Amino acid sequence: MPQVLVTGGTGYIGSWCVLALLEAGHTVRTTVRDLGREPSLRSWLHAAAPFDDTRLTVRRADLERPDGWDQAVADCDFVLHVASPTLRRTPADEDEMVVPAREGVLRVLRASRAAGVQRVVLTSAFGAIGIGHPPRSTPFTEEDWTNVEAGIPPYQRSKTLAERAAWRFIADEGGTLELAAVHPVGVFGPLLGPDDPPSLRLVRRMLEGKVPACPPFGMSYVDVRDVADLHLRAMTDPAAAGERFLASAGHSPLRVVDIARILHDRLGDRAAKAPTRELPVWLTRALSIVNPELRVLRHQLGQDLDATSAKAERLLGWRARPIEDTIADTAESLLAHGIGTAR
């Protein structure tokens, strides 16, 4: 079986990609910034599925530093470049996210080309496709690109500029190296370990009763396990070379209040603190002046951002599970790890 490198193996999507590869029989190498996290990662993975420990190697490498990447990719057939800077605060300077994301992907691509890697699968995001556009009634597709001149948040800007840089590298100096990109929409799903990823913050805060009312916007969502599955398909299928793939559960956009209703329906009293009403757009805009969390959402208030995965379904045979099941699994997992209960 091929040997595969996964960057950012302790991250939410990265850890599920590592697990999916191990379950498929691959030999896996993964990078982390702190080798002290290796025992925890192995513990999470063994709790989820049995595997031979010799098939998993953990190496230290940091997107912001050049050392370690040549050794990380050596002898690998494929690379899943999942790691990307994700700050848990609003950066004072957007370059805190943009520069590490862009330079990090170029480091991985250069090392992969030099090592003779066949294909890199880049974890991009819906944030590189559907942000900064006027409201529209049709779903976003892989032909769309985020408008980085529209005053968008740093995270979406970083994902867009990093992916643009990756495709330029492949076109100008990639040689025989192939590239595919996976674009998850909002990612929910169970945890492998006790970490609290930012993408699950909304559900956690709802369970804790810290969302008094729902902000007025909607978007598409997808299960982290299905995102990992799409990475594996994009890694080996000949049809995936040179392509972008949106990962969405195929549901019409869910408003935040719809997520709360699903939690009430599926968890009953355990979701009693989830909100049941939606704020008006005008009030949310006014509150965003003093609320940093709402301020980040200003660009999408009142919108329903839809995305279609028809391309991944057609070319790669990929299918996503029902998003209602994913939301319930997310909440159950958070509660099982002691996350999402009032403190």
Q: How many Cβ atoms from other residues are within 10 Å of residue 40's Cβ?
A: 15
* Residues facing 214 on adjacent strands: 278
Residue found by looking up tokens 């995965």 in the block: 309
Annotated catalytic, 159?
yes
Contact present, 134 and 199 (Cβ < 8 Å): no
Interhelix angle for 323-336 vs 256-267, to 10°? 70
Residues 73 and 84: their CA atoms lie apart, in Å, by: 17
Contact present, 157 and 192 (Cβ < 8 Å): no
Q: Which residue among the candidates 159, 210, 273, 311 is catalytic per the annotation?
A: 159
Interhelix angle for 201-208 vs 323-336, to 10°? 60
Residue found by looking up tokens 């208030």 in the block: 301
In 3D, which of 11, 52, 16 has the Cα closest to residue 32?
Answer: 11
Show the CA angle centred on residue 255, arms to residues 321 and 146, nearest 5°: 85
- Give the DSSP H or E segment for 32: strand 27-32
Positions annotated as catalytic residues are 159
